[in-house]
Structure 1
């Protein structure tokens, strides 16, 4: 029997131009000149036949406005243009509970939601409100996760979990206590959605950690683990060049959406 494979839609919904020193932790330690740095914001969709799995839900207009982030296309509008509805009940994977990954989650009112137990425990503890964490967290958006739990839709796990054939969640931690990566079987071979275990390819290749980390040693180990995996591609969480590495979808969404492992391609 042929193993089940998935295609991956990489959807860019936001962007920001900042400085390298604002992106990489303790940038002065590297003894390199500062400079402009562009990062993009993504969400992802897995498709196999009629099956659909959402991986993160981008940031909301409110979350973007709070932090001065640019919205290129509303994530829910982008999904709608691809024929995908938030209220369809398709599963959602939360790689971690930062504002730019769980904004709009409240619109997925019928979806089972997969999240690391450590991640949920952290953001519902007093630590989640500390200033060094709360800039990237948002208790109003965490409330959407708790709402799903009260409705019996939350799927918590520890370590590894294959949620369906060809889609495995792996808890690596580091950036947040329960940071996940998603290993996906495609017709190209296995592909890893790194979430924010690796924000950029430079972070992955040079061991240059992002500015916000819950656990430095675990974050380094996550990067080492990613590099050791035998996969066709690693898709990072925020690299500005990510869409250029894959084929764009046809039509008006071509500026915002690339497809990996397209079925029938």
Structure 2
């Protein structure tokens, strides 16, 4: 896959918002870590959502966990995601466009605060989390029933748009199914003035996953996870300039700080000046 030069109306500014964090061990986040022969040690896991803003349209990519779920799961909230959206000029009550990469608690936790939004989601992802198998102990620990209910409500009220690999919700944005972590995990390929940018979400939690081929501890298919990591490497080799992972604590240091009231909790890729 090679990329043609985007025209200005197809370019977007990406804001990366770090809304939460936690401290853990490396052996807690990499699958079967003991097999790699590496020393264990501390690991910071950060939590993000993303805003993709163009001249004609804005997309919210995931909605983070909410304060109640964060407390229950002993996660530290750095900034409330809904408050952060407001600071970026987004009215939660408006008819927003929300891309849900997958249905884990830290990615759909505030959908209830966006009651009029259109939701873009993989059909495979939705079908999986609304099936009986999603209630298995090793799967349900990553979701909250009430939050999945918000997805069901969006589908029931006609606010859900089911997508497949390669779907484009707007010029300059392509949704890619990179399964493994979950059955219909989406990544978002965005054209920016700094080149094609891949918001990998949890197709890649940490940069080390891609660099060392080390899957995250939570997955629904190991083979699909390995295939997905290779897909990301292939995308990088074919022209994707920026990779934005779902939980790596170095993420904000890799990109330009956002100038605004989110302070140290946000970074930006691309520029509105190119519009």
* TMscore range, shorter length: over 0.9
Partner of 2:218: 212
State the 1:251 CA deviation.
Answer: 3.7
Paired residue for 1:255, among 239, 243, 264?
264
5+ residue gaps, structure 2: 1-6
State the 1:72 CA deviation.
Answer: 0.7
**Matched residue SS, 1:84:** coil
Paired residue for 2:154, among 140, 148, 167?
148
Residue 190 (str. 1) matches residue 196 (str. 2):
yes
1:192-213 CA distance string (max 9 Å, x none): 0001000000011111100000
State the 1:154 CA deviation.
Answer: 0.4
Number of aligned positions between the proteins: 265
Instruction: State the TM-score, normalized to the length of structure 1.
Output: 0.97
Partner of 1:165: 171
* Residue pairs, 1:18-37, within 5 angstroms: 18-37=24-43
Partner of 1:203: 209
State the 1:103 CA deviation.
Answer: 0.4
RMSD of aligned Cα (Å): 1.2
Instruction: Quote the Cα distance in structure 2 between the aligned partners of 1:39 and 1:2.
Output: 35
**Matched residue SS, 2:174:** strand
1:81-119 CA distance string (max 9 Å, x none): 121111121210000000000000111111110000110
1:171-223 CA distance string (max 9 Å, x none): 11100000011000111111000010000000111111000000000011111
Instruction: State the TM-score, normalized to the length of structure 2.
Output: 0.94
Instruction: Quote the Cα distance in structure 2 between the aligned partners of 1:252 and 1:86.
Output: 18
Instruction: Quote the Cα distance in structure 2 between the aligned partners of 1:133 and 1:65.
Output: 20
1:149-186 CA distance string (max 9 Å, x none): 11101001222200110111011110000001100011
Instruction: Quote the Cα distance in structure 2 between the aligned partners of 1:77 and 1:259.
Output: 18
**Matched residue SS, 2:191:** strand
